[in-house]
Amino acid sequence: MKKDALLSKAISHKNWIKKYADIRNHSVEICRPLEIEDYVVQPVVDVSPPKWHLGHTTWFFETFILQPNCPDYEVFDSQYNFVFNSYYETIGARVIRTDRGNLSRPSVSDVFKYREYVDQKMDEFLQSGSLTESLESLLELGLNHEQQHQELLLTDIKYILGHNPLFPAYKKDHSLQKKKAESPEMIRFSEGIYEIGFEGEGFCFDNELGRHKVYLNDFEICTQMVTNREYLEFIEAGGYQDFRHWHAEGWDWVRQNNVKSPLYWHFVDGKWMNYTLSGLQEIDREEAVCHISFFEASAFASWKGKRLPTEAEWEVASEHFEWGKRWEWTNSAYLAYPGYKKEAGAVGEYNGKFMINQMVLRGASVATPHGHSRNTYRNFFPTQLQWQFTGIRLAQ
């Protein structure tokens, strides 16, 4: 995962206890506005039912911390491993992904009992002072894993409610800290050797290591994200009908799925409406465009006569602009950094095995939990997915 040397040693055990409680509690908070039925469904394969996220993050602590380290620990239910394992081949059979939405049991109430049971045992374990350095590392990984699922929880909840014909709101007055865009500007960087990748204290995922040199050519990058207003111009200029801006695979995707706009946009009575977590609303033209695939980001850039930045350009430039409202598609494939080594065992399955046919996203989004973002973070998704809070920053 990362070297013990990278562990933030300053955080005392007491701090871990509080941090564990805070982060675990935040997952529950995210789900508070839901009806029980909302916890259960899986409208598409990429979305997981909220109760599955709640169970799966709990299963992580049970399986990787409590079971191997607490001799007296009794698993809450021996069948939950089968239900809540996600893709860890090392750890027994698992419910295939498309089946998650078919499972009415364990009930939501049982999943919450499972969380309480494990949280209680974790608290006892942390109180007991048995946290070694390597366990600290694993605990930190588990909490970052939970934060990743907090973002997915919100993303998946939006998908579940936003694909219901009744368009129910998540929270009537939910505001994802919108901020009007300022006027965009291109900042220039000169060619030469730069360094990217994580270094120093604090947590990072293994895919951010190690800090290494890259050679960049002269480039310019925009201080602002592309807005809905600009994206509407692309739509109205026939961007979705002009194959020249699209990758061949992207063009097939557009035609096969009859894509005509970002996800959640609906053309109703001559107006573009947008499903938001507060319900269906008119498009806000000054907001950064959201919920677009890599194919759309790339086609838009091509139409503008520009391009997407590489992840190295983004990281180098990131101190010079504001980021964090949208995951920003880069034109970098998700591949290993020089010297990358997979960890042994189940934890090593975490990142390396996904390093193919996905593109890197940088930054963070309005759905990312507080304290879970840094400018070396490498998010990644397949090129056709729209359901994340994704946007576009142009470069040239």
> Which residues, 6+ apart, have CB-to-CB distance to 311 below 8 Å?
196, 330, 332, 360, 362, 378
Amino acid at position 37, single letter: E
- CA pair distance 201, 342, nearest whole angstrom: 21
39 in contact with a second copy (CB under 8 A): yes
- Residue 288, phi then psi, degrees to nearest 5: -65, 135
Provide the minimum distance between the beta carbon of 275 and a second copy in the complex, in angstroms, as a whole number. Answer: 14
- CA pair distance 305, 396, nearest whole angstrom: 8
Per-residue contact string for residues 51-90; x = within reach of a second copy by CB under 8 A: ----------------------------x--xx---x-x-
Q: Which residue has the tokens 């992580």?
A: 60
For a second copy (CB under 8 A), the number of binding residues is 64
Binders in 332-391 for a second copy, by CB under 8 A: 332-333, 335-336, 338-339, 353-357, 359, 383
Segment contacting a second copy (CB under 8 A): 12-20, 35-43, 174-182, 364-372? 35-43
Segment contacting a second copy (CB under 8 A): 129-137, 181-189, 245-253, 277-285? 245-253
- Closer of 92 and 371 to a second copy (Cβ): 92
Of the candidates 20, 6, 19, the one whose C-alpha atom is nearest the C-alpha of residue 66 is: 20
- Closer of 178 and 353 to a second copy (Cβ): 353
The single residue among 8, 25, 107, 134 that binds a second copy, judged by CB under 8 A, is 107
Q: Are 210 and 386 in contact (CB under 8 A)?
A: no
95 in contact with a second copy (CB under 8 A): yes
- Residue 363, phi then psi, degrees to nearest 5: 95, -130
Segment contacting a second copy (CB under 8 A): 99-107, 145-153, 226-234, 319-327? 99-107
Provide the minimum distance between the beta carbon of 330 and a second copy in the complex, in angstroms, as a whole number. Answer: 10
The single residue among 138, 161, 367, 394 that binds a second copy, judged by CB under 8 A, is 161
Which residues are 195's β-sheet partners?
213
- Closer of 191 and 286 to a second copy (Cβ): 191
Binders in 297-336 for a second copy, by CB under 8 A: 298, 307, 331-333, 335-336
Task: Dig out the tokens for 54 from the structure.
Answer: 């709640």
Mapped onto helix, strand or coil, the DSSP state of residue 210 is: coil
Strands (E), the chain: 186-189, 192-196, 212-216, 219-222, 265-268, 271-276, 279-282, 327-333, 359-363, 379-381, 390-391
Provide the minimum distance between the beta carbon of 258 and a second copy in the complex, in angstroms, as a whole number. Answer: 14
104 in contact with a second copy (CB under 8 A): yes
Cis ω for the linkage preceding 210 (within 30 of 0): yes
- CA pair distance 240, 236, nearest whole angstrom: 9
Segment contacting a second copy (CB under 8 A): 23-31, 175-183, 240-248, 273-281? 240-248
Rule CB under 8 A: which residues touch a second copy? 35-43, 79, 82-83, 87, 89, 95, 99, 101-108, 160-161, 163-166, 168, 191, 193, 212-215, 217, 243-244, 246-251, 294-295, 298, 307, 331-333, 335-336, 338-339, 353-357, 359, 383
